[in-house]
Amino acid sequence: MPIVTIDDRQVEVDAGTNLIEAALGVGVQIPHYCYHPRLTVVGQCRMCLVKVEGMPKLQAGCSTQVVKDGMVVRTDTPDVKEAQRAMMEFLLVNHPLDCPICDQAGECALQDYSFKHGMATSRARFEDKRVYSGRERIPLGPSVVLNMNRCIQCTRCVRFTAEVAGTGELGFLQRGARAEIGTFPGRELDNDLSTCVVDICPVGALTSTRFRFAERVWNLDKKPSLCTGCDNGCNVTLEHRRGDIKRYKPRYNPDVNDYWMCDYGRSTFERYAELPRMLVPRQIKEGQRVPVSWDEAVDSFHHRLRGRTEGATMFLGSGFLTTEEAYLLAKIADHLGTPHRAVWVGESKPFHIPNTHGGITARDAAPNRRGAELAGMAPREGGLDAARLLANGAGDAGVLVVADSDFGPGAHDPETVARLRRARVLVVLGWADTPLAQAADLTLPVATHAEKEGTFVNGQQRLQRFRRAFPSTGEALPLVEVLATVLKKLDPSWQPATAGEVFDHMAASVPAFHGLTWKHVPPTGVPMPEARAAVVG
């Protein structure tokens, strides 16, 4: 591999690597607007000009490749700095001075580069700025709004729809100084990945209807997490303010979702605000549903599991359970000797997310059906599967434990709830106070996905870990903690109590997870070759 020297620092890169990517290898950031690693190189913003020894003119870093040893590049010479200042001046000649009211403020490349590479004053008079009359707040589709006056015509959005989404709704209209971005006649920007154009827009020209004017970005606490919309397992940054989730943004993972995520996935956090929360444990006493303490609720749960109620004990989970939660449920079922344990998952729209390996396509409308089944939440011999349990199997249950109060549409469907209510005792754990939860004999409030940590196994059989973003609401506890407490009552020798401890115990006892440890699951996840043979799908 050739070695290139950038600002007196050497780096070895693959032949064909452009200078922007090579410079990142030695911690040098070459400013750029039009370049994106997954889009074709057009070299039209000219912000990435650098000095290459042996070449008479400055070269565009995005289109200049390292092809041989000995290339020497400078990004800090006077002529490079002057070129960058000149380009910033050109870009700002017509740009509106509306940073205080722009949604992109605080995460705007134009704003950042103007401080770092621009001039302190402008030679252009405000009254002479070019204005696109009537081209502000223009809906390009249901998810994206255009403000053409802020556009610097980098064409990232145009290239994205043509090359990544493959839908080609956007293009350049008009010519010269009047050129503008827009949708072609009779079309709108309405593909599954449309909001990605907002992510890659370096200025405030394209904004998201979901996040527009929702919050200032510098007030947001940002945590790495995973999307729960389907089994693609897209890596996301969960952005919240004091526990109020404001948006999901894609987090780079070349093996899963690369730089992208679908519009549906961005909306999945909204259910936490739309559905009422279960805040305290509740139990039916003398025909009335009343709040109880956690100690009383856990004792009641344990008593009902160990009781001699006529009928089988059954467990219904969902694909929203973490692998660790599913493992603990399976351990409880094993201790009680019941084969009836199942996971209900609906079918997802086939959302396709491109990546460097050809892409991933959703099948399940939940993130962790595979992980839950591998952990033991699959029917044993003679056990009921989820479909039979939801149809009429609950009538044979002495105790039915539903480990997710919002497992799917059935939790809100009166007929399904009535069928599950045929169990002599119905225990529901979950975060949402759904009709199913309101029909239960005992309800235990647990944390949402954002309020706990754990692992999911996606449709590629890739194990990924996520962390807690903020504390739980009300008296809700992590489900792992609740189940570990119940399991310890059933089996006093049981010790693991946290998600990490449960995972390590599971890895030591379940073949599909052998060799893995909680601390050493990398940020991009780890493939599970054993899982491919263990679970079809």
Contact of 506 with 375, CB cutoff 8 Å: yes
Q: What DSSP string runs through 325-376?
A: HHHHHHHHHHHHT---EEEE-PBPP--EE--TTS-EE--BSSS-HHHHHHTT
What is the third-level CATH fold of 3-76?
Answer: Ubiquitin-like (UB roll) (3.10.20)
Distances (CA, A) of 75 to 37, 71, 115, 192, 379: 20, 13, 17, 39, 62
Q: What is the pLDDT along the chain (537 residues), one digit of tens a residue?
A: 899 999 999 999 999 999 999 999 999 999 999 999 999 999 999 999 999 999 999 999 999 999 999 999 999 999 999 999 999 999 999 999 889 999 999 999 999 999 999 887 788 777 778 889 888 999 999 999 999 999 999 999 999 999 999 999 999 998 888 899 999 999 999 999 999 999 999 999 999 999 999 999 999 999 999 999 999 999 999 999 999 999 999 999 999 999 999 999 999 999 999 999 999 999 999 889 999 999 999 999 999 999 866 789 999 999 999 999 999 999 999 999 999 999 999 999 999 999 999 999 999 999 999 999 999 999 999 999 999 999 999 999 999 999 999 999 999 999 999 999 999 999 999 999 999 999 999 999 999 999 999 999 999 999 999 999 999 999 999 999 999 999 999 999 999 999 999 999 999 999 999 999 999 999 999 999 664 444 444
Q: Which two tokens stand for residue 246?
A: 């404001």
Q: In what order do the strands lie in the sheet with 206-208?
A: 138-139, 144-146, 206-208
CA–CA distance, 429 with 404 (Å, rounded to integer) = 6
CA–CA distance, 326 with 457 (Å, rounded to integer) = 12
The 10 Å Cβ neighbour count of residue 479 is: 27
CA–CA distance, 159 with 73 (Å, rounded to integer) = 28
Distances (CA, A) of 132 to 128, 179, 338: 13, 10, 69
β strands within 31-99, DSSP E: 49-52, 59-60, 71-74
SS (H, E, C) 154-203: CCHHHHHHHHCCCCCCEEEECCHHHCEEEECCCCCCCCCCCCHHHHHCCC
* Start and end residues for every CATH 3.40.50.740 domain found in the chain: 276-534
Per CATH, the number for 276-534 is 3.40.50.740
pLDDT score, position 308: 67
Contacts of 271 (CB under 8 A, 6+ apart): 406, 432
* Start and end residues for every CATH 3.10.20.740 domain found in the chain: 3-76
Total-model pTM: 0.94
Could you tell me which residues are beta bridge partners of residue 241? Answer: 244
pLDDT score, position 2: 94
Could you tell me which residues are beta bridge partners of residue 318? Answer: 344
Tokens 């920007």 belong to: 189
pLDDT score, position 535: 43
CA–CA distance, 148 with 250 (Å, rounded to integer) = 25
Helix (H) or strand (E) segment spanning residue 438: helix 435-438
Residues making up the chain, counted from first to last: 537
Q: 104: closest CA among 203, 34, 213?
A: 203
The 10 Å Cβ neighbour count of residue 225 is: 24
Q: Does domain 130-273 have CATH number 3.30.70.20?
A: yes
What are residue 74's phi and psi, to 5 degrees? -120, 130
